[in-house]
Structure 1
């Protein structure tokens, strides 16, 4: 049977044991890594009604799910728990980048024909790795901070305004940082295409969040009932480097 919902604020939002927190964190990290491995470096396009081709990054197909999960983390468990997950994701990205470099650098067995293709897929340049990590770090923290602050301002009402609003800010920063930092000046990425990808990523990611609003409502409501809490970040230290959950105002 679900526990009665308990409102938690300020110093009382200190870390506690939750039933599903670790599962949500694992899903967040898995989607983050997959989106960076599978789709981050591939530009694709759709043909508009007038015949014009509009470019977008292939990773946009499922990377926004990490932002949905980030919204759920902040809304249900509070900023301090979301901050921990963001750092876990950042560490996982760093480890993945390091291991990709190690594996690509290993000499292939004699006669193995896949080294060139392997390097193309997994041998991301330092620019792509740096851009991915910086964009993720800035975008995710912006998303979580905006949502947590809006929850206090709206007194927990109108969830859709803070999920979409925080995604608009976080995904905007993510797209504006990643694509120019990773691909500006490279062959195959003319400035006009780069700007199209930035704008389309921003728009599609925000649209994804809006389209998944009913799912977000269902997941947030279910988790709050099952965990028995509703966390408000009143008096929280929003520094990404803070250790505590909150402080008194």
Structure 2
């Protein structure tokens, strides 16, 4: 293996690791809805998963930049399988009989009120299992849109304006993702009203919108560091391969 091929492989491995970890973590913590007003003095509510979701779509754009649409979709499909595996394992753990001493040492909360920790565990993680369908559908559709729009803008601009293809693809894909995940998870399979879905989806989307703009410098920094790691000529070659949708 040539030094360039080794660096290329290592780069894809690192970016894929960052992508998978943050996507999986976002899905797991996404069951919590928190008040934006209490935390940031902003109107509306957000799912906890959106706090780290910007890392996922920035990583998506970087992978697309150097490995093309094929590289993004490859890691996205793998991530879907890993999310399904993770939630399958979590579901099985909710079926395990709790140990008596575990229930005994956690029988009251911090205020001394009666507390069933096994019920809480099942309630939290089965809620996560309840939104797995919405999460997978939204994630798959969002990633496909992001990769496609990113590639289209890059072709239209001749490879110029990194900020435009990164921000443009994210804003469109996350508009769909923000609504679909909540609609499927909490409206079709839950007990939310459409007004609640639209309210949280709206807040989630504008948070992602702001994050996409604010994280643009991170994209340029990553571009600079990767070009230095690969070398100018090699980085250009890899980007040309990405435009042609050549695999990793």
Normalising by the residue count of structure 2, what TM-score does the alignment of the two structures yield? 0.81
Distance of 2:54 and 2:225 partners within structure 1: 21
Residue 130 of structure 1 aligns to a residue whose secondary structure is helix
Distance of 1:214 and 1:52 partners within structure 2: 24
Candidates 44, 54, 61, aligned match of 1:54: 44
Gaps of 5+ in 2: 104-116
- Check whether the contact 1:127–1:181 (CA below 8 A) recurs between aligned residues: no
Residue 175 of structure 1 aligns to a residue whose secondary structure is helix
**How many residue pairs are counted as aligned between the two chains?**
224
- Check whether the contact 1:35–1:63 (CA below 8 A) recurs between aligned residues: yes
> What pairs up with 1:76-155 in 2 under 5 angstroms?
76-113=66-103, 114-124=117-127, 126-155=129-158
Normalising by the residue count of structure 1, what TM-score does the alignment of the two structures yield? 0.81
TM-superposed CA distance for 1:127, in Å, is: 3.9
Structure 2 equivalent of residue 70 of structure 1: 60
TM-superposed CA distance for 1:110, in Å, is: 2.6
Candidates 10, 18, 32, aligned match of 1:19: 10
- Check whether the contact 2:179–2:197 (CA below 8 A) recurs between aligned residues: no
Distance of 1:52 and 1:153 partners within structure 2: 37
Deviates more, 1:119-128 or 1:166-175: 119-128
TM-superposed CA distance for 1:23, in Å, is: 0.9
Structure 1 equivalent of residue 106 of structure 2: none
Structure 1 equivalent of residue 183 of structure 2: 180
Distance of 2:244 and 2:49 partners within structure 1: 36
Distance of 2:62 and 2:43 partners within structure 1: 35
From the superposition, tell whether residues 53 and 157 of structure 1 become closer, same or farther in structure 2 (CA, over 3 Å).
Answer: closer
Which is richer in strand? Answer: 1
TM-superposed CA distance for 1:156, in Å, is: 1.0
User: Relative contact order (alpha carbons < 8 A, sep ≥ 6): 1 or 2 greater?
Assistant: 1
Distance of 1:75 and 1:126 partners within structure 2: 33
Gaps of 5+ in 1: 5-15, 237-243
